Amino acid sequence: MVHKGLRITQGTFSYLPDFTDEETKAQIQYGIDNGWAPSVEFTDDPHPRNVYWEMWGMPMFDLKDAAGAMYEVKRCREAFPNSYIRVSLYNSKLTKQTTALQFLVNRPAYEPGFRLDRQESTDRIVRYTLHAYATDRPQGERYQSPSAPEGRDA
Amino acid sequence: MPEDPPVRPSLGPGTRIVDRPQLFGAAEVEALELDDDAVIGAQELVRDARIDEVLDRLDAELVALKDVKTRIREIAALLVVDRLRRSVGLVSESPTLHMCFTGNPGAGKTTVAMRMGEILYRLGYVRKGHLVSVTRDDLVGQYVGHTAPKTTEVLKRAMGGVLFIDEAYHIYRVDNERDYGQEAVEMLLQVMENQRQDLVVIMAGYKKEMDRFFSDVPGLSSRIAHHIDFPDYSIEELMQIASMMVDRQRYRLGPDAAKAFEEYLAKRMTQPRFANGRSVRNALDRVRMRQAIRIYEGAGRGRQLTKKDLVTLEAEDILKSRVFDGGAYPTP
């Protein structure tokens, strides 16, 4: 079997085809209209347990229109075209105070996926863990190739 | 081994992926085939936008300012016609609406700018219609690298509405080369040009200083499509403003009070530091104070009060002003 890479699903909407800018903007506007604050974050570690991503600027608490958030999304894409970028919409209402909606707005051109590691322990116990191929390289150097390597069409 | 997960999962039949916004909807493409003589339902559109209502309110609430009102009327008409043109499939670029208001103190620049957000929202030019009012402090930072995030923050906040920069000429000081204003101006220029559909920038300031500002920053003046000058008010117009202010605060001018106030204005206008509408407002505030002390002292002497006493500004309240003894404001 030839490994073909793995399209990461994370947050809302990630089983859908990637959004256009218009669609992204409409989703952010929906959040703003609900009183949620958008923020932009990015990372190059695709592990599902990696929850704290790098912040791209401060959360935008006083926006009225999604154009301001889109401006930051675009700037983040320019700076990190080969990273995962997500928009979080934070509900600051008392008793909620949590992320209300979060979705990816950018992903690397080629996502190599994960390998399964087995660790043998005492008493025939086997522990399993996921290892992202991307993290074999140091931070900032992952996902550098603009497209999939030869023979591995994404 | 299960199949590899599909790289781009599809939603199945019937899903349409729009890669870029379409130029026209289906209905508009159909409308393209209209004859040149086809009749277009303009009345409905004009009525639906309730533009007349906005313009009438502007007429009623702002005294004089003919140039400003004409310009707003023109902009309104252009935006309506643009919408009509779009409905028959004629594409035209959305006009630039950045504005610059110049005029003497108290001429109404800020008041009109505050209205602009709502007007442009009603006309469908901006999406939200809120107004973000800033001055130099909100845009320009204190140290290297502080300005860009500050300006970006303000611009993002204003998107979908109107950014109002009061005393805009303060942003950039040409005589101080270590001033960070230049950076703010550059970002402003860039967004004014590239994100015209996202926000409208209105600058306001005194005529002389703004002219100097525009000559210091090449390219700024030409990016502002509408330069509107606010003339000084005549004494009749000031009296109209005064009576509107009195009405709005639920006061009444007693007999002879209107005449006394007109005399007051005639004297005050010849003195230095006269600030049009703002001077009227300040004068009325002082008149109210004199009325209050008169009522207070009268009540202390056991005089009966009626509701009429509380709402009436008498001529004597006005005539007590220092302007009438030639004090306070030395004439040059």
pLDDT digits (tens, 9 = 90+) for A98-130: 999 999 999 998 888 899 999 999 999 999 999
Q: Which residues of A touch B117 (CB under 8 A)?
A: none
- Which residues on neighbouring strands pair with residue B226, listed in sequence order? B99
- Which residues on neighbouring strands pair with residue B201, listed in sequence order? B163
What confidence score (pLDDT) does residue A31 get? Answer: 96
Confidence tier at B124 by pLDDT (50, 70, 90): confident
> What letter would DSSP give residue B323?
G
Contact B277, B106 (CB under 8 A): yes
* pLDDT tens digits, B263-294: 899 888 888 888 888 899 999 999 999 999 99
* Comparison of pLDDT for B326 and B297, the residue scoring more: B297
Percentage of chain A with pLDDT > 70? 91
Q: What is the mean pLDDT of residues B174-199?
A: 86
Confidence tier at B305 by pLDDT (50, 70, 90): confident
What confidence score (pLDDT) does residue B24 get? Answer: 42
Spatial separation of the C-alpha atoms in residues A30 and A36, rounded to whole Å: 9
> What letter would DSSP give residue A152?
-
**A154–B contact, CB cutoff 8 A:** yes
User: What is the rounded average pLDDT for all residues in chain B?
Assistant: 81
Q: Which residues of A touch B156 (CB under 8 A)?
A: 60, 63, 67-69, 71-72
Q: Within chain B, where are the H helices?
A: 26-31, 42-49, 51-61, 66-87, 109-122, 136-139, 147-158, 181-194, 207-216, 220-223, 235-248, 257-269, 276-300, 307-311, 315-319
**A116–B contact, CB cutoff 8 A:** no
User: Cβ of B9 and A17 within 8 Å?
Assistant: yes
* Complex-level ipTM: 0.78
**B149–A contact, CB cutoff 8 A:** yes
Query: What secondary structure does DSSP assign to B63-126, as a single string?
Result: -S-HHHHHHHHHHHHHHHHHHHHHHTT---PPPP--EEEEESTTSSHHHHHHHHHHHHHHTTSS
pTM over 0.95: no
What confidence score (pLDDT) does residue A115 get? Answer: 92
Spatial separation of the C-alpha atoms in residues A89 and A11, rounded to whole Å: 11
* pLDDT tens digits, B238-271: 998 999 999 999 998 888 888 899 989 988 888 8
**A148–B contact, CB cutoff 8 A:** no
Q: Which of B148, B186, B98, B132 is nearest to A75 (CA)?
A: B148
Choose the closest CB to A68 out of B10, B15, B157.
Answer: B157
User: Cβ of B7 and A60 within 8 Å?
Assistant: no
User: Cβ of B159 and A22 within 8 Å?
Assistant: no
- Which residues on neighbouring strands pair with residue A45, listed in sequence order? none
Percentage of chain B with pLDDT > 70? 83
* pLDDT tens digits, B51-74: 777 788 888 888 888 888 888 888
Spatial separation of the C-alpha atoms in residues B190 and B144, rounded to whole Å: 20
Contact A62, A76 (CB under 8 A): no
Spatial separation of the C-alpha atoms in residues A53 and B126, rounded to whole Å: 34
User: Cβ of A22 and B9 within 8 Å?
Assistant: no
Give the residue on A whose Cα is nearest the Cα of B8: A17
